[in-house]
Amino acid sequence: MSFCGQCGNKREVGKPFCGNCGQSLTEQTRNGSAKPASVVKRKRTKKEKGLLGGMIAVILLVMGGIYAGNEYTSAERTVDRFVSAVNAEDIEAIEKQLDRAGEHAVQPFEVEAMIALFETGDVNLNQLASSLKSVGSSEGFTLVEEGTFLFIFNTYQIEVNEHYYEVHIPHEEIELTIDGESINTAQADDYFIRVGPFIPGIYTIEALVTNEFGEFTHTQTASFIYGYETVYVDMNIDLVSFNMYEENEHVSILVNDTEVSLAEGSAEVGPMLIDGLSSYQIVVEYPWGEETSEPFPIDSAYQDVLLDFEINEEIEAKLAEAIIEFGESYYEAFSQFDEGLLVRTSGELPHNHLATFYEVYEDNSYEYAAQLDSIDVWYEDHYLSSTESGEVLLVLPIEYDVQVNRSGLDLSDGLYHSSEACFMNLTFDKEAGWSVYDCQLSVSSWLNSGDSVSYPGSQVLHQSDDSVEIEF
């Protein structure tokens, strides 16, 4: 087989001229110029050259695209884009990088909470990125393969663990929000509601209640960082129980200026914020006038209501008058064996006590003599009580300092010093004033501690037998 020496085209058998270029094949044979195709160089056309360049460009482009695609969708670059988005606080970009373990989509407010977690330093963003690149997970964040792009490139996302709040909701009136998102508290079970799930972050929980006692708001922040967990939150808003341990229809309390009766001895108020900023006052309609206490802070859900009042100078003077008059009459009545001489009493108890002594002294013909030298009253140690019928009693520690002789048949021995004390129970009547309801005097000096107010006695001698001359 031979070829045209001019263009390299295959020679056709029997043809004197080349069918391609028209060159004389006979002349080429004679001159020996015919060459095989392997040694003939043919110039490429422009079209061929263009096609060849295009093919090379496509190959290079595909190879570059594969490299760039792999680089862009790689796990490392995914982490880098996440870090850049967090630093730029680009919520939309962060949402695209995140996937949560559950079925719910990540919400913008959750992304904001996550950004706050990094800003506070509770989680170090650079350390997190390093751990994700090296081991694929850290502190509730896990780098996971999401799928493929263009069926070629593996793509990745950062999966975040989910968390829940257990929030104490003691009453349906409480309105609850988490980062501004309203929560339906009607779902609360046993005063607790489970809220979530949320991705790692710092969330702001706010409880609001409005009632006749005021508007109360409690705000609390809580962090979710590690693995699956539940955070228990007490919003410090609850019902407050006030207890007096005895019924008194004359007692009420003012809670933030709203009156609540304690006639049955107790009351439940609220719900309200228990932080010590709210307060209550005790209001008592005493027989001698209405008394309102100083404010007491509400710092716990249980408050003991203790009745008390301040004895001012006017009341103190009237009490002293009753105590002194009763004491003088007591020793006179004792010496004369006549309880009818008692004054400033408001019941039968003082009379009954004297009658008991009379049975000892009178039946044995005993003699008795005494004089009241002074009286001590501990006003600061007073407290309030009540009779079985609910009448208010003021209880005061008192002590009578007396010169006395209980020697029986012979008073000539003279007098000796004695201190007789009791917790005196006094009542008040608008017409009669203060009077002694009960006072069981006993020989003692156990009250001589603390600050007391002293009053002089009459120092008049009271004796059962005036014919006996008593030496002092």
Mean pLDDT of the chain: 81
Residue 25 has pLDDT above 70, yes or no: no
In this structure, the number of other CB atoms found within 10 A of the CB of residue 223 comes to 17
Q: What pLDDT does residue 37 have? A: 46
For the residues 163-173, what does the mean pLDDT come to? 80
Better pLDDT: 274 or 309 = 274
Average pLDDT over residues 289-311: 88
Between CA 245 and CA 102 the distance in angstroms is 53
Range in 51-60, 203-212, 264-273, 320-329 with the lowest mean pLDDT? 51-60
Measured distance CA(269)–CA(280) in Å, rounded = 11
Judge residue 242's burial from the number of C-beta atoms within 10 Å of its C-beta, 0-12 exposed, 13-18 middle, 19 or more buried.
Answer: buried
Q: Which two tokens stand for residue 321?
A: 């008058």
CA distance 196 to 223: 13
Considering the chain, what percentage of its residues have pLDDT values greater than 70? 79
pLDDT, average across residues 95-112: 83
Q: Which of 115-119, 222-226, 363-367 has the lowest average pLDDT?
A: 363-367
What is the architecture of the domain spanning 313-463?
Roll (3.10)
What is the rounded average pLDDT of the residues 452-460? 94
pLDDT in tens, 355-364: 777 666 655 5
Q: Give tens-digit pLDDT for 212-258.
A: 998 999 898 888 776 556 777 777 888 899 998 777 778 899 998 89
Q: Is the pLDDT of residue 165 over 90?
A: no
Average pLDDT over residues 33-47: 58
* Structure confidence by residue, pLDDT tens digits, 399-413: 999 998 876 666 777
Both structure tokens of 427: 């009542």
pLDDT at 467: 52
What mean pLDDT is predicted for residues 430-438?
A: 93
Q: What confidence score (pLDDT) does residue 49 get?
A: 67
C-alpha–C-alpha distance, residues 141 and 201, integer Å: 12
Average the pLDDT over 163-189 and give the result. 81
- Lowest mean pLDDT segment, chosen from 18-27, 325-334, 436-445, 456-465: 18-27
The residue to which tokens 């017409």 are assigned: 431
Q: What pLDDT shows up at residue 323?
A: 97
Q: Taken in order 314, 317, 320, 322, is the CA torsion positive or negative? A: negative
**Does residue 30 surpass a pLDDT of 60?**
no
